[in-house]
């Protein structure tokens, strides 16, 4: 019966299939003991402290002299970003006037209503459902708050504090190793609404500038890993049927979100045309971010971070596409 249900779901709707499979997968919220540097951590306090240290180091780690990176280039980009901060205007009027007009009550209400139910809240412990039942008075207060944030280009510290939950990656990875877990960030729901409002305003400008580019299947409406897989398979079939060899290069980026360099991201944002107050807002969202770890109902002490974009953040896929845009550009420019 289950197999028949899964097959029917797959034929009609791929998303329905995965939803069905996830709903029938046994869940286990308790983390196993962890081995690290020859020691075993098993008690709740030890595990919480270990995970807090792990993410604090991971989200602040700077390249060492032994790492294969270009220090001269790093310094060059830092100088570029410093120059942008000295010369970039905080006025609106850039990127199609994304921040030219006030955020309206109706805009806030429509954004909140479009947010999915049954999502875990952040440190504010406010669910999407609670906001949906807040009514006009709440939407009015939120619109005033968001307009003040944009006018002063200042995001309150409380809205930049995220909870990190270690989630096992699966795929047969050992459950007693730190590297087998992905840190999913839960941001304050109030902040998520503002992020979504701004991204909704930015999407028409991005589409007009073909960003992400057509060959990039993540972060684009109507494309996904499934469409990319189909396209690659068709290309392989076409050339093999015509007697040609096909060579592929698969690139797996380690810590793709965790290792995002903020100055590099800000520089690339300016390169694709993000200017003015919107650029400063993105800068403000990154700087001064703090996190804590949630494990089995307990939270660790907070710590600041100096790199990374949030796993699960509303802006994160856009930031990811910007950060790795060079790879696509290089492939397109490379002579066949």
Task: Express each pLDDT in 38-57 by its tens digit.
Answer: 899 999 999 999 999 999 99
Radius of gyration of the chain (CA): 22
- 191-197-202 Cα angle (round to 5): 125
Range in 32-36, 137-141, 214-218, 309-313 the model is least confident about: 214-218
Q: What mean pLDDT comes out for the span 189-209? A: 94
SS3 146: helix
What residues contact residue 186 under an 8 Å CB cut-off, 6+ apart? 120, 121, 122, 123, 162, 163, 164, 165, 294, 312
Task: Express each pLDDT in 127-177 by its tens digit.
Answer: 999 999 999 999 999 999 999 999 999 999 999 999 999 999 888 899 999
How many Cβ atoms are within 10 Å of 166's Cβ, its own excluded? Answer: 20
Tokens of 119: 């999502």
- d(CA 64, CA 76) in angstroms, rounded, equals 18
Is the pLDDT reported for residue 23 higher than 60?
no
Residue 85: pLDDT band by 50, 70, 90 thresholds? very high
DSSP letters spanning 189-237? HHHHHHHHHHHHHHHHHHHHTT-S-TT--TTSTT--HHHHHHHHHHHHH
Is the pLDDT reported for residue 105 higher than 90?
yes
């Amino acid at each position: 019966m289950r197999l028949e249900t899964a097959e029917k779901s797959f034929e009609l709707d791929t998303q329905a299939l995965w939803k069905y499979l996830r709903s029938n997968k046994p869940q286990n919220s308790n983390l196993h003991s962890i081995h690290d540097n020859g020691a075993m951590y098993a008690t709740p306090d030890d595990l919480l402290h270990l995970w807090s240290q792990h993410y604090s180091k991971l989200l602040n780690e700077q390249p060492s002299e032994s790492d294969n990176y270009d220090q001269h280039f790093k310094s060059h980009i830092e100088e570029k970003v410093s120059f942008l901060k000295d010369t970039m205007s905080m006025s609106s009027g850039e990127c199609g006037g994304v921040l030219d007009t006030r955020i309206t009550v109706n805009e806030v209400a429509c954004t909140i209503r479009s947010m999915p139910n049954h999502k875990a809240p952040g440190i504010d412990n406010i669910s999407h459902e609670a906001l949906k039942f807040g009514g006009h008075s709440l939407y009015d207060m939120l619109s005033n708050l968001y307009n003040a944030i944009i006018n002063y280009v200042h995001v309150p510290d409380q809205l930049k504090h995220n909870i990190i939950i270690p989630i096992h990656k699966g795929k047969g990875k050992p459950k007693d190793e730190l590297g087998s877990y992905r840190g999913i960030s839960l941001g304050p729901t109030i902040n998520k609404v503002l992020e979504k409002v701004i991204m909704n305003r930015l999407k028409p400008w991005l589409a007009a500038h073909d960003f992400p580019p057509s060959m990039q299947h993540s972060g684009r409406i109507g494309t996904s890993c499934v469409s990319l897989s189909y396209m690659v398979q068709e290309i392989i079939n076409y050339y093999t049927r015509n007697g040609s060899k096909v060579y592929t290069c698969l690139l797996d980026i380690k810590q793709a979100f965790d290792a995002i360099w903020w100055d590099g991201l800000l520089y690339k944002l300016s390169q694709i045309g993000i200017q003015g107050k919107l650029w400063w807002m993105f800068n403000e969202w990154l700087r001064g971010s703090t996190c804590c770890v949630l494990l089995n109902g307990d939270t660790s002490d907070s710590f600041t971070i100096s790199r990374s974009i949030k796993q699960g953040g509303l802006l994160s896929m856009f930031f990811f596409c910007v950060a790795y845009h060079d790879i696509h550009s290089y492939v397109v420019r490379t002579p066949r």
